[in-house]
Amino acid sequence: MDSEARTGITLSVVVPMFNEQDALRAFADRLRPALDGLDEPYEVVAVDDGSTDKTPDLLHDLRTDWPQLRLVRLRRNCGHQAALTAGLDRADGAYVATIDADLQDPPEKLGEMLELARRDGLDIVYGVREDRSSDSGFKRHTAGAYYWLMRRLVGRQVPAQAGDFRLLSREAVEALKELPEQHRVYRLLVPWLGFPSGEVRYVREQRVAGETKYPVGRMARLAVDSVTGFSAAPLRVATWLGAVSFVTCLLLVVFSLSVYLAGMTVPGWTSLFVGVLFIGAVQLICVGLLGEYVGRIYTAVQRRPAYYVAEDTADRAAGRTGR
């Protein structure tokens, strides 16, 4: 593979980090032996996603006696998926793995992923969560609904319960980099590419320290981005809502005319009120759905980069930004 020839790195491990100062030491203490034990040239691409705590300082400290650790620092918080984009864009390895920094994904599985990819000639190896009992009931249920919906929208090739813990070949990474969109949901885009893939099962552990960086608002955002990024079905929902309310209106016209002809037109405040509210609500929902897509078109037309790099400890041309 040309990248292997270029840099000699077999495995790049991309780790997005946002305010992970409490988890970082424990994470490094488990990641390093797992990678050193592989006996392969590797690099760890820690993407600091605009942390406001000591994460970047700690990473600089760790780098003093861990030469394979590379820091890519983003100028501000750009979000998990954008941090992944930054890492994938800059990783040099023949294989690139992505893993969370909170030890919910076990670093010991990286070796297994690499071995499987090489043995079976796979371009993608998903980490599939066997057991999510460490996650809250709320998270499990919303995640279940999310994966069900995504399999319907994108197709069967989306593995259920596979997050952003996975291994990609150089070819798959290059295919991702060629995609024109700036704002990506990788857990859908990667299966959509259609490369040969395999799975490694693992048990989802507790976050080792710190708080989740995915509060309900961000989870909802990810879900909306996933749906609108892959399907225009919600726009058809708007059409259907319009059709249903149109038929309802026709029935109401017949009803109100017959009431008028029967000479009983004075009472009717309730039906009028309900009718007006109903039509108003349907219209607002449809405008909102349309707005989601118009917003995405607007963002796509602006073509602003998903992230800005402030520092890359391996960057030969320092000061470069974006992609």
SS (H, E, C) 130-162: EECCCCCHHHHHHHHHHHHHHHHHHCCCCCCCE
CA geometry: angle 66, 68, 74, nearest 5 deg: 100
Minimum CB distance to Mg ion, residue 185 (Å): 17
Restricting to residues 212-241, name those near ligand UDP by CB under 6 A.
212-214
80 binds ligand UDP (CB under 6 A): yes
Please identify, among the stretches 79-87, 146-154, 177-185, 244-252, the one whose residues bind ligand UDP according to the rule CB under 6 A.
79-87
Select from ligand UDP, Mg ion, none the partner in contact with residue 189, using the beta carbon and a kind-dependent cut-off of 5 to 8 Å.
none
For residue 290, what are its two tokens? Answer: 């349309």
Residue 316 gets which letter from DSSP? S
Cα separation, 91 vs 45, in Å, equals 7
Q: Which residues are paired to 197 by β-bridges?
A: 124
Alpha carbon 244 to its chain centroid, in Å, reads 34
Minimum CB distance to ligand UDP, residue 101 (Å): 4
Minimum CB distance to Mg ion, residue 204 (Å): 9
Restricting to residues 81-110, name those near ligand UDP by CB under 6 A.
83, 100-102, 104
74 binds ligand UDP (CB under 6 A): no
Minimum CB distance to ligand UDP, residue 217 (Å): 12
Q: Give the closest residue to 176 by CA, choosing from 164, 78, 143, 27.
A: 164
Task: Rule CB under 5 A: choose which of 20, 48, 89, 102 binds Mg ion.
Answer: 102
Give the nearer residue to ligand UDP in terms of CB position, either 193 or 209.
209
SS3 183: coil
Site string for ligand UDP, 48-67 (x = CB under 6 A): -x------------------
CA–CA distance from 230 to each of 152, 153, 188, 192, 222 (Å)? 11, 7, 8, 10, 12
Positions touching Mg ion (CB under 5 A) are: 100, 102, 104, 207
